[in-house]
Structures are given as C-alpha cells and as structure tokens.
Amino acid sequence: MGPLGAALSALLAADIGATASRFKRNAALCAVVAVLLVTAYIFALIAIALYLSATYSPVIAAASIAAALILTALILIIVMIALQGRDRQLAEERRRRSMMRTNLTMLAATSILRKQPLIAVGTALAIGALLGTGKKRRPNRDT
C-alpha cells in the first residue's frame, strides 16, 4: 500500500498547488477589476459634475451629486435593515418549527413508552450505557 499512498499523496499535493495557484490568479484579477471599476466610478462622477456645472453653478452641481449619493446610501441602508428583519423572522420561524418537531417527538416517545414500559426500561439502559462509556474513571492518586 506504500506506492498507492505515495501516489495519492502526490495527487492531492498537485491538486492543492493548482487550487492555490488558481486562487492567487483570481485574486489578482479581481484586484485589477476593482481598481478599474473605482476609477470608472470616479470619472463618471467627474463627468456628471462637469455636465451639471455647465448648466448650473459648480457649487450646486457638487451639492446635487452629494445629495444623490446620500439618498442612494440611505435607500441601501433601509434595504439592508429590511433584509436583516426578514432574515431574523426566517431564523425565528426555523427555530419555532424545530422546537415544535422536538416537542412532537417527545410527545410521541412518551406515549409509546407509556403503552410499552419494557421499551422504556431498554431505552433507559441504552442511554445509561452510552453515557457511561464516554466517561472513564481516573484512579485516586492521593493515596
């Protein structure tokens, strides 16, 4: 099994190396794309400011752009708050359903155990055995 293990090890090492190389390449390309998008955004703002300053005064043009950006940011904040509230409600609903399933399971188990007490004894012994196997007693070293 030595040669097989060595072959598998070499295969995994090559796969990890290829994955790391791909990750580095993608990270570098994403960084370049991000720089280009930020530059395009800045030049778009400059173009809008120049266009508005031809029609209005430069101060009003800059104030209009600032107001539009602030309004957009506030809208995005409201959307984020709404999404967080929806996620919170979904999590609460999942938790409630999980608790309901647990309660129904416990109710069904209780009814079965009342009708068949031997199953209750067997279940208690099994749980006790499982709990007992996890704990090992340490000898008292004080004596």
Arithmetic mean of pLDDT, 46-71: 91
Residue scoring higher pLDDT (10 or 60): 60
**Number of folded domains that form the chain:** 1
- Look at residue 124 and tell me if it is in a domain: no
- Look at residue 6 and tell me if it is in a domain: no
pTM comes to 0.50
- Look at residue 36 and tell me if it is in a domain: yes
- Look at residue 90 and tell me if it is in a domain: yes
- Look at residue 49 and tell me if it is in a domain: yes
State which residues form the domain around 79. 12-109
Rounded Cα gap, residues 12 and 109, in angstroms:
47
| 143, 136 Cβ separation under 8 angstroms | no
- Look at residue 132 and tell me if it is in a domain: no
Arithmetic mean of pLDDT, 63-89: 93
Rounded Cα gap, residues 19 and 33, in angstroms:
21
* pLDDT tens column, 18-55: 777 888 888 999 999 999 999 999 999 999 999 999 99
